[in-house]
Structure 1
């Protein structure tokens, strides 16, 4: 099932319409959004645990949600 506004709010908190539309356009699920959010907030821990890098929709979500390196 694709993301709903309630799904997004449960993971990210309030989101604006533009971000919501971008996230919905990926066709991602709540589980994929949760995975992407976990990677954004703990990527070093996952890499140190030898988790494979995200692919597919999870990677798309990370690209949308994570600021570019020069903005961190």
Structure 2
């Protein structure tokens, strides 16, 4: 099943409409976004658990979300 805006907000919390549109444009699933979010927040734990590196839509989402995280951190500095 493809993501909805409500799914994105449920997984990521408050997100601006542009970012929601970018995420929805990937045509990822709820599971894809949840896995990408897990990689963003605990990549070391997933690697230690023997999980293979993200690929496909999950990797695209990781890149997209990582860019957001970098921009957020730069704004705080």
Q: Normalized against structure 2, the TM-score is what?
A: 0.83
CA distance in 1, matches of 2:57, 2:64: 11
Cα deviation, 1:6-26, whole Å, max 9, x if unaligned, reads: 101110111111101110110
1:21-60 map, 5 Å: 21-60=21-60
Does the alignment pair 1:8 with 2:14?
no
Residue aligned with 2:52, SS? coil
Residue aligned with 1:7, SS? helix
Aligned-residue RMSD, C-alpha: 1.4
Cα deviation, 1:1-58, whole Å, max 9, x if unaligned, reads: 2111110111011111110111011000111100000111110011112210000000
Task: Select the structure that is richer in helix.
Answer: 2
Q: Normalized against structure 1, the TM-score is what?
A: 0.88
Residue aligned with 1:2, SS? coil
Write out the 4+ residue segments of structure 1 that deviate beyond 2 Å after TM superposition: none
CA distance in 2, matches of 1:8, 1:25: 12
